[in-house]
Structures are given as C-alpha cells and as structure tokens.
Amino acid sequence: MKEEVVIPQGGHFKEREKKMRKSSLSPLLLTADKTTFIKQVLSFLEERREKIHSVILIGSTVFGFDEEGSDIDIVVICKKDHDEEVSNILHKRMMSEEFKVQYSIYEPTHVERIFTIGSPFANSIRNGVVLKDDGYLKGLLTNKEFPLKPTREYYLEALKDIVGLRYYFPIIDIEQEIKEDHGPEGICIKIGKCQGHAPGDILATGIFRMLYITLSYRGYRLLSKADVTKYAGEIYGQKTSDVLNKCIELLRQDRWGVTVEEYRLLKPFAVKLFRECLRIVDLRNNGDMLKELRDSARAARLISRKRVEERVNAE
C-alpha cells in the first residue's frame, strides 16, 4: 500500500519569522567571538572585493539556534568566472580558521538558477544576513518573477543531484565493505571490533538533501538543519531524531566511516526518503528521469566494483 503524501497548510513558519534578522549582524543572536570572527572573514574578502558581488550569513547562526560544533554557513556570490579562484582561496583559509565554516560559493548563473527553480536554498539567502552586496543580490531579492515555493524543476534537479553520489554510491559501497570486513576473514571479525565503513558522511548528507525535497513538498519552509530536524520529527516520528542526530554527528566530525550499527540506523530512513522522492517526481510520467536513475545505479555499482578490486590488489 502506497503512503499518501499530505501537504500541510501553513503555520509552520510563523514562529521563526519573529526571529528573523535581515540587515546586519545582531549582538542578540551572535556571541562576541563569532561576531569578531565573521568581521575577520569580511575583512579578508574585502581585499578581493573586485571578484565578489555578495556575502550572506545563513543557517542556524542567524537565528541563534546554533550549537557547539555547528558550522557557520556563509554564501559567497562571485562575479562571473571568479568562483573557482575564490573557492580555492577560501578553502586554504578554512584549514586555519577558529570556527568550522561552510562556504557555499556561486557564480551568477548558478545562483540565478537556484532562484528560478524556487530552491529552498533561495529562501535561506532571502532570510539571511547580508554582510556585503554591490547591488547584485538586491536585484535578485526584489525580482518578483522568482517563485517563492519550489517548482517541479527543483524537485527533478535536486533528486538528480542526490541519486548517484549521495544515495546509490554510499549504500552500495558501505554494504560491500561490510560484507568483506565482517566475513569469516574480515578485519572487523579478526580484531573483534567494527572499524567503520565508508562513505558514511556522504550518506548523511544525502539524507538531509532528500529531506529538503520531501519536507518542502509537504509545505515546510526550511532555513537550517534545526528546521529540518524539528519538522522531520513532526512528519516521520520522534525516532527520526536519532537518525538525524547521528547524521549531524558524522558531518560535524567529518567522519568518513560508519559502524554496522550506525549504518543499520541510517539506511532504512534513507530508503524511505528515497522512495518518497521517487513518488514526488512521478517516474511513471518521466521516462528521462527513470533512465538517469538507472544509469546512476549502474555507475555506482561499477565504481564500487573498481574500489573492491583496488583493495584486493593492495592486499
């Protein structure tokens, strides 16, 4: 029996709207050390201002719901053909930063596509704190032609982005490692302890990405992982919090490997979300999407098989 996808009516965002800050850093929501740190980032980016349109602070930090170990999420919109250069510069800086920072770096074509298809990420930008803007972002935010809700194109593009790398690949790869390492001659059996199986953090990312699809389709407006965790609990039950807390733990620790027990916790929920995503994009009326899914699954199996061969040869 198929599970009906019900879209709730309004009301989910009112509490969060009261806490929004759009114009400048707020000492009510940011600790002194984080305020100082973000100003240092801005000063660093100011030296490259000829390459950058806009800088926006988004996510839980904006609303004061960040916890110890939370990322500081910063969007950088670069001028045309400068995104790769700015990305390389910020990646090097990240290695020595006091806080864990997640930079999302885009060029105009990419960020305009995000707004055109009504991606939830566009709402994160709309409701973020604008730290710098040369007028480019203001033009996006005042353009009334952009949809405020996700379009069908968003769901299709988001699922395509998830399927191969963040769903098929980690599941196939982890299960292959478990089969080998927990077999009669496996290393985990020999030492009496599970050593972890990769890539667990990618599967964790995939779970959150799929939740952005399913919760958005159900009518929720998502601005941070705190939103996702709260609303997922409302829809899928409170046991879901165990899954998402484990995902957050993997991501914050940059942990590549998951134990068998952790994988058994994550996989059923990932499969549930994937099936719901398939219903949302309506594969029966989308032959091209079905073909891409099959091609992604085939490619993931080939990659996994190659990795197994490399491990065998290395031994």
SS3 45: helix
State mean pLDDT over 277-291.
Answer: 80
Rounded Cα gap, residues 309 and 127, in angstroms: 48
More confident residue, 165 or 26: 165
State mean pLDDT over 46-55.
Answer: 91
User: What local confidence, expressed as pLDDT, does residue 25 receive?
Assistant: 45
Are 131 and 58 in contact by the 8 Å Cβ rule? The answer is no
| pLDDT score of 10 more than 70 | no
Task: Choose from 111-115, 128-132, 298-302 the range with maximum mean pLDDT.
Answer: 111-115
Per-residue pLDDT band for 14 (boundaries 50, 70, 90) equals very low
Give residues with Cβ within 8 angstroms of 88, minimum separation 6.
Answer: none
More confident residue, 262 or 64: 262
Rounded Cα gap, residues 193 and 29, in angstroms: 43
The full set of domains in the chain, from first to last, is: 19-141 (3.30.460.10), 152-314 (no CATH)
SS3 79: coil
Which residue from 269, 255, 243, 223 is spatially nearest to 126, judged by alpha carbons?
223
Q: Mark 168-189 as b/e (b = at least 16 C-beta within 10 Å).
A: bbbbbbbebbbebbeeeebebe
Q: Which two tokens stand for residue 149?
A: 């809700």
| pLDDT score of 308 more than 70 | no
User: What local confidence, expressed as pLDDT, does residue 223 receive?
Assistant: 86
Are 218 and 5 in contact by the 8 Å Cβ rule? The answer is yes
Beta bridge partners of 129: 57
Rounded Cα gap, residues 28 and 119, in angstroms: 29
Whether the ω angle into residue 199 lies within 30 degrees of 0, i.e. cis, is yes
pLDDT in tens, 223-247: 888 889 999 999 999 889 999 999 9
Q: What is the DSSP letter of 196?
A: -
What are the φ/ψ torsions at residue 267 (nearest 5 degrees)? -60, -50
Residue 202 CB neighbour total at 10 angstroms: 19
Q: In what order do the strands lie in the sheet with 101-106?
A: 101-106, 72-78, 52-58, 129-133
